[in-house]
């Protein structure tokens, strides 16, 4: 392995070590409340380039720059901020919302994949807060997983993905949101949803007092690339199929010798799966249930996908989420995992 990956403890000293490593141009993974990030200071082009190498990610994909507070974004984006951006920052920062804004000249284009906009996020996780405050310049960070794979929500996931490929991981409590931040582009007088997340389009509309546009509805956005939106993403090794309670019995009854897992949350889905399991008595069939609400499903989703791979599951039947706004973040990730 080319690098020895150090694990820094979640103490003041650990944070200080992580911050000086980052300032020295090292790659340092760190916790956030959404997923763990793989950080490099935006001002060190070599470090930023190494992110792509470590992740095996195509080089022109834009990264999110992380700051400790709203003050930290000034001079890196064009000012004055659009009015709607200020409203969103006041309401949701620190938290799981990324704003795509026109960048200033100071923000290196290596971070933005050559684009004239930059994604900026201010995470709420206390260790991320302490780390970013100590570093003092924005930290570019994609999720700390190899390209196309499931994002990490705890330290051991990061090591599973990147041990030996990065300089250090800063420890911290597991992510308590569990899916990546909501991303909106704020351009002129419109807000466009680029990636759904735990902050829903309804939550945003309440704050800005106008509709959030979908990407297809915006002309301004047609030139913007969002890597997570383009390819199959968030994929475990197991084949993922989304099913309803009605479809499940027939699918499970089909003959086959693969190792199957069923993951669901609603009463109707869980009772359908329990009944089939009792009837089939197949040792290669396992059932996992999650609490029936989108925030809880989001917290556990990625560790369940990883667990399925760890348990050598071939086929993972996951409950089709409701099509309500509350489920939009989870539904988006499941759609990609099953693509």
Could you say which of ligand TXA, Mg ion, none residue 14 binds, taking C-beta under 5 to 8 angstroms by partner kind? none
Q: Are 151 and 145 in contact (CB under 8 A)?
A: yes
Could you say which of Mg ion, ligand TXA, none residue 77 binds, taking C-beta under 5 to 8 angstroms by partner kind? none
> Which of 143, 171, 175, 200: binder of Mg ion (CB under 5 A)?
143
DSSP bridge partners of 193: 184, 214
Minimum distance from CB of 254 to ligand TXA (Å)?
A: 36
Residue carrying the six token digits 């200033």:
104
Closest to Mg ion by CB, 157 vs 213, is 157
Question: Roughly what angle, to the nearest 10 degrees, separates helices 126-135 and 12-23?
Answer: 50
Binding of ligand TXA at residue 218 (CB under 6 A)? no
Could you say which of Mg ion, ligand TXA, none residue 117 binds, taking C-beta under 5 to 8 angstroms by partner kind? ligand TXA
Most distant CA pair in the chain, distance: 65
Binding mask 73-112 for ligand TXA (x = CB under 6 A): -------------------------x-x-----------x
> Which of 31, 37, 82, 95: binder of ligand TXA (CB under 6 A)?
37
Residues 260-319 that bind ligand TXA (CB under 6 A): none
| E strands present in the chain | 6-8, 28-30, 37-41, 64-66, 97-102, 117-121, 139-140, 168-170, 182-187, 190-195, 213-214, 239-243, 260-264, 285-289, 315-319
CA 148, CA 228: separation in Å to the nearest integer? 9
Q: Are 2 and 165 in contact (CB under 8 A)?
A: yes
Minimum distance from CB of 166 to ligand TXA (Å)?
A: 14
Q: Which residues bind ligand TXA (CB under 6 A)?
A: 32, 34-35, 37, 61-64, 98, 100, 112, 115, 117-119, 121, 141-143, 180-181, 183, 194, 224-228
């Amino acid at each position: 392995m080319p690098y020895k990956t150090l694990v820094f403890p979640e103490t003041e000293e650990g944070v200080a070590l992580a911050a000086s490593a980052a300032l020295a141009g090292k790659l340092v993974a760190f916790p956030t409340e959404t997923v763990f990030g793989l950080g490099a200071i935006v001002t060190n082009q070599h470090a930023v380039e190494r992110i792509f190498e470590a992740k095996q990610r195509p080089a022109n994909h834009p990264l999110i720059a992380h700051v400790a507070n709203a003050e930290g974004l000034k001079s890196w984006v064009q000012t004055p901020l659009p009015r709607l951006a200020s409203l969103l920052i006041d309401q949701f920062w620190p938290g799981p919302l990324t704003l795509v804004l026109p960048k200033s000249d100071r923000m290196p284009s290596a971070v933005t994949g050559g684009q004239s906009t930059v994604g900026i996020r201010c995470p709420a996780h206390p260790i991320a807060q302490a780390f970013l405050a100590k570093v003092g310049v924005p930290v570019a960070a994609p999720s700390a997983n190899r390209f196309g794979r499931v994002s990490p929500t705890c330290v051991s996931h990061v090591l599973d993905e990147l041990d030996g490929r990065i300089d250090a991981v800063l420890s911290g409590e597991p992510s308590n949101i569990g899916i990546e931040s909501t991303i909106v582009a704020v351009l002129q007088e419109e807000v466009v949803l680029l990636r759904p997340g735990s902050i829903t389009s309804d939550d945003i509309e309440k704050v800005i007092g106008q509709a959030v546009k979908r990407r297809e509805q915006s002309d301004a956005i047609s030139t913007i690339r969002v890597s997570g939106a383009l390819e199959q993403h968030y994929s475990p090794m197991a084949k993922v199929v989304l099913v309803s309670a009605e479809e499940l019995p027939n699918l499970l009854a089909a003959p086959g010798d693969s190792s199957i897992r069923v993951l669901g949350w609603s009463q109707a889905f869980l009772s359908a799966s329990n009944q089939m399991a009792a009837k089939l008595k197949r040792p290669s069939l396992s059932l996992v249930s999650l609490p029936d609400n989108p925030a809880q499903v989001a917290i556990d989703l990625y560790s369940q996908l990883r667990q399925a791979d760890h348990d050598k599951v071939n086929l993972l039947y996951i409950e089709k989420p409701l099509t309500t706004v509350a489920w939009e973040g989870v539904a988006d990730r499941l759609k990609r995992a099953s693509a």
